[in-house]
Chain A
Amino acid sequence: MLFFSFFKTLVDHEVTVELKNDIQIKGTLKSVDQYLNIKLDDIQVVEELKYPHMSSVKNVFIRGSVVRYVHLPGSVVDTALLEDATRREASSQASKTKQG
């Protein structure tokens, strides 16, 4: 849930989603769900000449499983907090593993 939690904070920020088929889509993150499916608004494909079929698309819903990378604006990431969140996630995972 860490990534879900993290991506939620990026809502309404501009991100670039790089898909596994190499298309890079830049747009405003509108929402994300637990599968990390992503909804982008006002999109723009980075290499528009290469993917002309995308030029008329204004918003997209991207299935989480086809995302390779999400390029984030560094300024909106609270690193210290993210570290802590990661620690929490790790500890909860560890406790779950112990239980299982």
Chain B
Amino acid sequence: MSFFGFDHTLPRDRGHDTSAPGFSQAADPFSGARPTHYDDALDFEDTYDGLGDELDEGDDAFNDDTFGGRGEAAVTPGKQPVGKDFDFFGQTAKVAGAMNEEQLRFSRQQPISKVTSAQPSPSFAPPAAKPVKTGYERYKELGYVADMRVDADIWGTAPKRAPAQGSPGLPPPPAGRKMMSLEEVEAAIRAQTKKPAESEEPSQPPSQHQQQYPALVQQQQYQQNHHQQFQQFPPHPQQQHQQFHVQPLTEGPPTPHRQQRDRKQPGIAQQPVHILQRGPSVGPHGDKQTTVLQNSNRHPGIQELGGSRSHANSPGHRSHPSNGRQIITHPTQLADLSEEDRAKFLAEDAKRAKRNHKIFLMSKDNGLMTPQDKNFITRIQLQQLVTATGNPNEHGTGSGLSEDFYYQVHNQIRGGPRQNPGQPLSNFAQTYLYQTGGRHSGVRRQNRGGDNHLQRMEHQVQRAVEAAKNKPKNKQLVIEGSLGKISFSNAKTPKPLLNFKRTENDRKAPAVTGSDRKTVLADIEKVYSTLMEMEDHDRHNPPPLHNDVDPELVGRHMDWREKAEKLNAKLWQELKVHEPIGDTEIHPFIAYLSFSKGKKSIQRVFRHITHEQRTTILTMIVVHLDQLDVVRQAQLLTGENLLNASIRENVELFSLAVLPSLFTYLGDAPLDIVTGVLGLILSINVDIISRTRVGVSLLTMVLSRAELLKQGGEVDEQEWTQWSSTYNQFFNVLEPTLPSIFPGTVNTGEDIYVWQFLAAIGIGASPEQQQRLVMAVKDRVMETVTLAKTLPPAMSNQRLANVNLFMRSIGLDVELLA
């Protein structure tokens, strides 16, 4: 009963919609003659089992041929094909008796032919055209209803064959698409309405349309129940289950019984529901959309139900026709438009058409790449970016910082331009990642799959980054069986042309910690690298602890502190402060300080060491003050007015780099430490120290600190006594040097620090000491005052102010001398 054959042979049917059931019917099932394409129909039918098609045609045939002339069909408005369909049953019912007889007669007459005609139908394979023909011819005969009756009988007699779909050699149509008789549908729906829970199908999301059916169906049921025997719908007897066929014959119209049976066999009851839902709930099964629609339209049983549904669906189905109507209406509208408007409209239209065309042209490539493909490409691109630029997340941390340390830190310090103009690539990688995230984040809420996918993507990028990080480690590939190695290179790690394997033995450090230049320089470098480690470590300081105790955070803090301590110990060892004094000619730490690098490091070192360590360093420096290069070499020989440039530079550097740290420390030091420092100084060559700027500065600091402490009034009496005695000793030692304490002649003018020093001594001195002090420096004072008179006012004032610094400390003023 294939369609094709049927359509071609019967001109009538061809003229009818039914020939191309899917398209035209979907739009308007009852709209009669509309040109259709058989070929198209062929294509569609290939894709699905023809049961639906067959049934549809049958339905149409019913409507037009059999009942078109009848009152009911004509009376009911075209809008409600459902009513028509019901009428059909009603009409049939009127001739129920005759039909029944006919059926019986027919079945007796040609049982075998019936079987043949019925059997092939389910497959709807094109070769089975002939049976179809006969089937439809029968429809046109008056007794066709009886025909169907006969079918039912045959199956009733051969119960096992009832599921006719399973005919051998032909692909069995999927169970879901099985066409159900109207009865089955009814039963199912009734079962559904009465026991919704039972008919619930998890796989089928309830659709809107489904809700509409029960009411309709129930209407039908009332009619149909009276004529149950006729409900065996002629066009699709072959699909009916055996039970349905048998029952109408054996039992008359017992509706309750049927319901009972439905309840007993939920499987069967559910099947119709399946089908019913399939039609309307097209959405979920997008791929089956067209076929399903056709099915529902063609299925005579369902179509009645679907009459209203087709209306409900109509917007979707009719979208094309309506579009066409719109286009048709345009010309008429155009006529009304002004020339200009028309031109505009046409131009717009052309543009739109062009755009549509373009879209169409491009659309042929639509779906060429699956989302997976696209992601694959994206991942490759990201991977390449990552390998080309390194880990984008690395910047500002760890190895990334060391790669670009200068720029990063320089920018932080100087507040350089925020966007890094020189490295767009890594930025790009980051931006790209961000964008991808953004694009997905919108979809995220609705689409779990997208979320997963994004996660996978992020994961992948992470892995790519990891791989890229690990890559430089194995720069060589040794292919099995080959004699050579293949080494890779990229911009970051160029292929090494020379590859020396250095064993640890080659670079074993000299056992003796000598003070030769090379060793000291190496020591300094070690200190620096440790310093940098410590600074990096500082940057990784875990977030501060809060009240709520987070064990993990606490653990991190402990780890951090532990590491910090380790680094500190390392640094301390490398500074060699604790090397025994006197083992070498110059103590390693003093040698360390003799290099400008070493001097510069002190400030940084001080930031990372404990208070005790600072004290130790101060002590070390004070004890070796006369050995420091800036003291030793800074002695002005007789007749020399100025130190040579390099020494001056060193002194300057020491004053700027080392002394401030010491002063800061001393500035907070208690009196006992200050006293201790002064005591230490007493043990070394005060004469040498006091004739150098560095030494004098340090002494000034010590003395003034003591004075400040005294003035602060928080000084322990005993400590102060101790300090006083030390001070007195110091004064006695210093006194002989005082006259020669000034550098160069009075003309050089670089003696402000000496005046400061003298002032510091003067403040703390007893009146007797002050007198001795004045005696010792009287000459210089007088010289300076005399010189000041010859100098221009600005310089003169400066000189006098310097002197005054001292004079005021002992209660005098330069004015008195003038």
Residues in A lying within 8 Å of B, measured CB to CB: 1-2, 4-9, 11-12, 30-35, 78, 80-85, 87-89, 91-92, 96-100
Contacts and interface: CB of A to CB of B under 8 A. Distances in A.
B409 A81 contact: yes
Contact of A9 (B403, B411, B476, B500): B411
Nearest to A88: B402
B656 to A, nearest CB: 12
B493 A5 contact: no
Interface in B393-446: 399, 402-411, 413-414, 416-417, 420-423
Interface residues of B, number: 36
**Which 10 pairs show the lowest CB-CB distances between chains A and B?**
A85-B406, A8-B422, A5-B407, A5-B406, A88-B402, A8-B407, A9-B410, A85-B405, A5-B404, A1-B403
B342 interface: no
A87 B529 contact: yes
Given A34-B491, A81-B413, A87-B529, A100 B407 contact: no
Contacts of A6: 406-407
B163 to A, nearest CB: 73
B209 interface: no
B406 A2 contact: yes
Interface of chain B: mostly helix, strand, loop or mixed: helix
Contact of B500 (A34, A82, A97): A97
B518 interface: no
B508 interface: no
A10 B751 CA distance: 41
Contact of B499 (A1, A12, A88, A100): A100
A47 B9 CA distance: 99
Given A2-B406, A83-B597, A100-B496, 4 more contacts: A9-B407, A9-B416, A84-B405, A92-B403
A98 B507 CA distance: 12
Given A100-B496, A100-B499, A78 B410 contact: yes
Contacts of A8: 404, 407, 420-423
Interface string B581-617: 0000000000000000100100000000000000000
From B403, B414, B472, B502, residue with most partner A Cβ within 10 Å: B403
A88 B410 contact: no
B473 interface: yes
A87 B525 contact: yes
Contacts of A34: 491
A15 to B, nearest CB: 14
A68 B745 CA distance: 49
A3 B404 CA distance: 9
B764 to A, nearest CB: 38
Contacts of A89: 402, 405
B649 to A, nearest CB: 14
A91 B405 CA distance: 13
Nearest to B402: A88
A92 B402 contact: yes
B421 A11 contact: yes
Interface in B521-549: 525, 528-529, 532
Contacts of B402: 88-89, 91-92
Contacts of A80: 600
B492 interface: yes
B403 A5 contact: yes
B496 to A, nearest CB: 6
B772 interface: no
Contacts of B491: 34-35
Contacts of A83: 528, 597
Contacts of B413: 78, 81
7 contacts: A1-B403, A6-B407, A8-B404, A8-B423, A80-B600, A83-B597, A84-B405
Contacts of A84: 405, 409, 528, 532
A61 B411 CA distance: 24
A81 B499 contact: no
A82 to B, nearest CB: 6
Give the most central of A9, A31, A87, A97: most B CB within 10 Å.
A9
Contacts of A98: 502
A35 B490 CA distance: 12
B317 interface: no
Nearest to A86: B406
B475 interface: yes
A30 B421 CA distance: 9
B405 A11 contact: no
B422 A31 contact: yes
A9 B406 contact: yes
B492 A88 contact: no
A49 B409 CA distance: 41
Interface string B484-500: 00000001110010011
A5 B416 CA distance: 13
A87 B407 contact: no
Given A5-B406, A87-B525, A100 B492 contact: no
Nearest to B403: A1
Interface centre among A5, A81, A96 (most CB of B within 10 A): A5
A88 to B, nearest CB: 4
Given A84-B528, A100-B499, A33 B409 contact: no
B446 to A, nearest CB: 43
A2 B473 CA distance: 20
Contacts of A35: 491
A82 B399 CA distance: 17
B406 A100 contact: no
A48 to B, nearest CB: 29
A59 B635 CA distance: 56
B427 to A, nearest CB: 13
A79 to B, nearest CB: 10
